[in-house]
Structure 1
């Protein structure tokens, strides 16, 4: 299969591969810049992006906002003119401020999920920044396209379809995760593509679609493209690269993981997620620690009085390398990782 470039408005990625945004220190400037330099689309996650910066503990949100510009600038230095985007969760506290800071920093693309980004077109108005909602169902795709068109006379520049095999927080209920087998979800993907195509035709534009969740190798990419996708989004595969911003211990946890170690967990904010089973998850089931300390103001709907544990603390511990006392988010294919490699090697495998 010949790969076509991914065209997002006036942006062109030579390789139709978007690197997934992985929060709290996994995909920062190092990984995003490297993917972009190889012709793909590099994505920085803004989720607690400043966790390593001075002042984060005292003032996490303001520290995060300052870190956005720093990470984008660093990624640009590595990217050699490639496309740099950010992933900003709708569930983030002060979401609008994160979006405005990314736009101010000249980011090329904002991908936004963990809720429907209903106000995103207004927040980027007047800028060159492209915008892409993450959707998981036909219903969510219809809602966001209709709302953006009616309220803002704007359509998405890209749509990311994130399936049930993705890592981290998932846009499904547990019942949906059981329902959507690979074959069943292909029908949902085709339905979403029909919705996006209809809105694009009505607006006189082509809206590219990227499929995410379960994309690991060339075979997975070819299946997604054969369904009609313009690109794929991959997160898990890029974790075990030398360029990934996570600690070596975090990467080794992926390499050591077996298929049976990958499990669905309940996030403190009520959403199901996918992670690697470890001592931390076992202890949380038996004796949840609660907040135990400062709240880092990460998610809008998190109630410090009722959460079983602090997700920021758990994810930051993972990124720093304390893998047994941490939440290790991962995709369904994490067990397939068996060695460290360079981003360039992955891109070559996908394209040659």
Structure 2
């Protein structure tokens, strides 16, 4: 992975973006300017982030992060970007929970100032487990930590999920409900099918992803459609992984990236948390390193979550495979974007674009766990 360049994420020029940001900022805080602007190395594959300081005698905060809807010219990962939805979700979590989230400052829904809607929040200092190179690789700060430090990070991270699920009233998160009919899980899977159809609209379909959706239909959890099971529908973070948390030492200081938040069963987040670690762990093992095999083990995550909430995770084979399938669809779109920008050639087999192809095949065949 060290020789693989990071995929292109934008066609915007940071200097021009900063100039336009300063012009907009002065309308919210007269005399203010955006200075020391940088694009983080971990800038996301979907929405973009710009870090900057506010030059003003009395700023609400000094260091800020701007979250900007994806550049339409950059072959976007998702078909739409609802920044108001992300902003509102962050504020909802801040209002009802003790989960640490950044302080939100301003929302701008007019695309004119920066070319797309955006919001500004306080920048929280700390460190984030990196995706590139993965935190599972030798040399990362998390890999260099002690077993006790990683255990503390894991425990606090599972606690974050438990508190989000238990403390936010589902009725206050109704705006995150997905369209369609049936249970929250039915709607979630239907939305993923629609997203997949959009991804492959101009390409050959992925036989592996098609197999994955067929597997879900054949192994649908028997309790997933119980209308009376209100415990099963909560606010889910959507992108529940340690790479979306800023840590102060090994304690969560800010939970980030709410663009995939939705109403759904708790296991959506649990499956994503477990599988996304396995994704990086599998990559690490394939490179000849040991990685972090004892971090975020499925049995331990399930046990701790049950102890914290009283809810025993259900159908986790289903939900970890669903997480791997969702990730495959996103990775397929990211790969098509690399092809679009001429970074890689198009292979004859679309499944060759799925980095965790072997893992997803093993899950479908019942060989993974």
Would you say same fold, with TM above 0.5?
no
* Larger Cα-atom Rg: 2
TM-score (norm 2): 0.23
